[in-house]
């Protein structure tokens, strides 16, 4: 009686994994991580990825959960809404891991200060560096986790550009889809450059339309390429590949002229944030930053909105 290890081993042999995990959690079994790892492998082997993710979340193995969520997002990338949701969940798990690492670092530092006198700045720095090294080691196997929110940004901008186009806002759709070009390693290139070409055509930005068509040429199969060639011939036989004059914008740092869809200044190299509500470049606008994902929105764009457009956390 009271032999918890034998009880857990029996559950494992009988494939009663859920009961094994419950026993390990209830009795604070020291080798619980081994049990969880075996159960996770069992679930993955049987194609139960979502159950494996939930298991890792219960076990506070946030990086393992994030990796599986990122993998799922890639598999469903043809469905940008589902892919975005999965990428947001993956990013939230990475944030959870980072908070845990920093909390552990602070607790260790405080404990050291309590036991051995005042905590020095060197101790705090050492603990923080140790946490950063641990975080880097955890993300090294999956470099996409280094910038955890990038995948969510990509599918968010893709969905936003589609909505703007169908709402009859081609100018906004062009601005957003041109930002999306920086994410063509995540979102399908055909999707990205087709969006740019359509929005550019409707706004008479024929230079951008021509560039997008040239990019499409490199990724389309022969049949689709022939159809694209016929379409571009029809468009550019009567128009020249030039953009219309646009409202001038200036870099807040160096006053160098910038395009309204610019991601950075060509003059000083300063990077610009993107408003997650509108897709606009944030220059000298008043902004609100979400406390959860730390992405910004232009204030007047979210006047009637109560949730972050990217991660959907409450804004107020």
Give the whole-angstrom CA distance, residue 281 versus residue 265: 11
pLDDT of residue 180: 95
Higher-scoring residue by pLDDT: 18, 312: 312
Higher per-residue confidence, 241 vs 60: 241
Confidence class for position 1, pLDDT limits 50, 70, 90: low
Tell me what the mean pLDDT of segment 191-216 comes to. Answer: 96
The helix/strand count (H/E) of the chain reads as 12, 6
Alpha-carbon distances of 216 from 43, 223, 300, rounded to whole Å: 40, 13, 36
pLDDT tens digits for range 226-273: 999 999 999 999 999 999 988 888 999 999 999 889 999 999 999 999
pLDDT at 88: 97
Q: Is the pLDDT of residue 63 over 70?
A: yes
Residue 274, SS3?
A: strand
DSSP 79: S
Distance of CA 189 to the CA centre of its chain: 17
Parse the chain into domains and list their residue ranges.
Answer: 150-237, 247-315
- Contacts with 255 (C-beta within 8 Å, 6 or more apart), sequence order: 267
Structural contact between residues 243 and 140, judged by C-beta atoms closer than 8 angstroms: no
Q: Is the pLDDT of residue 189 over 60?
A: yes
Chosen CATH of 150-237 out of 1.20.58.220, 1.25.40.10, 2.40.50.140, 1.20.58.110: 1.25.40.10
How high is the pLDDT of residue 15? 74
The per-residue pLDDT of the chain, averaged, comes to: 85
pLDDT at res. 145: 62
How many whole angstroms separate alpha carbon 48 and alpha carbon 46?
6
In the predicted model, is pLDDT for residue 13 greater than 90? no
Q: How many CB atoms lie within 10 A of CB 71?
A: 15
Counting residues of the chain whose pLDDT is more than 90, the rounded percentage is: 55
Summarised one tens digit per residue, pLDDT across range 262-297 is 999 999 999 999 999 999 999 988 999 999 999 999
Task: Note the pTM of the prediction, 2 decimals.
Answer: 0.82
Q: How confident is the model at residue 38 (pLDDT cuts 50, 70, 90)?
A: confident
pLDDT higher than 90, residue 146: no
């Amino acid at each position: 009686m009271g032999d918890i290890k034998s009880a857990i081993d029996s559950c494992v042999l009988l494939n009663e994994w859920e009961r094994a995990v419950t026993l390990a959690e209830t009795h604070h079994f020291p080798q619980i991580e081994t049990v969880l790892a075996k159960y996770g492998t069992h679930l993955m082997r049987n194609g139960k990825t979502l159950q494996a993710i939930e298991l890792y979340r219960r076990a506070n193995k946030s990086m393992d959960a994030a990796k599986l969520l990122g993998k799922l997002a890639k598999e469903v990338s043809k469905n940008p809404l589902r892919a975005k949701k999965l990428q947001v969940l993956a990013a939230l798990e990475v944030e959870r891991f980072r908070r845990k690492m920093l909390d552990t670092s602070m607790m260790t530092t405080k404990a050291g200060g309590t036991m051995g006198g005042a905590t020095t700045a060197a101790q705090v720095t050492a603990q923080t560096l140790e946490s950063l090294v641990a975080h880097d080691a955890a993300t090294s196997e999956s470099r996409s986790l280094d910038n955890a929110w990038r995948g969510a940004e990509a599918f968010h901008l893709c969905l936003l550009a589609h909505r703007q186009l169908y709402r009859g806002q081609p100018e906004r759709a062009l601005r957003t889809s041109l930002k999306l070009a920086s994410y063509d390693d995540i979102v399908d290139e055909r999707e990205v450059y087709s969006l740019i070409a359509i929005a550019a055509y409707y706004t008479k930005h024929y230079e951008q339309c021509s560039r997008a068509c040239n990019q499409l040429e490199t990724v389309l199969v022969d049949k689709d390429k022939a159809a694209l060639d016929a379409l571009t011939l029809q468009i550019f036989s009567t128009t020249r590949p030039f953009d219309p004059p646009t409202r001038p914008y200036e870099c807040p740092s160096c006053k160098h002229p910038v395009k309204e869809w610019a991601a950075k200044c060509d003059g000083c190299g300063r990077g610009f944030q993107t408003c997650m509500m509108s897709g606009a470049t944030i220059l000298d606008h008043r902004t609100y930053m979400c406390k959860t994902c730390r992405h910004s929105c232009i204030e007047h764009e979210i006047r009637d909105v109560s949730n972050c457009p990217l991660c959907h956390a409450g804004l107020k």
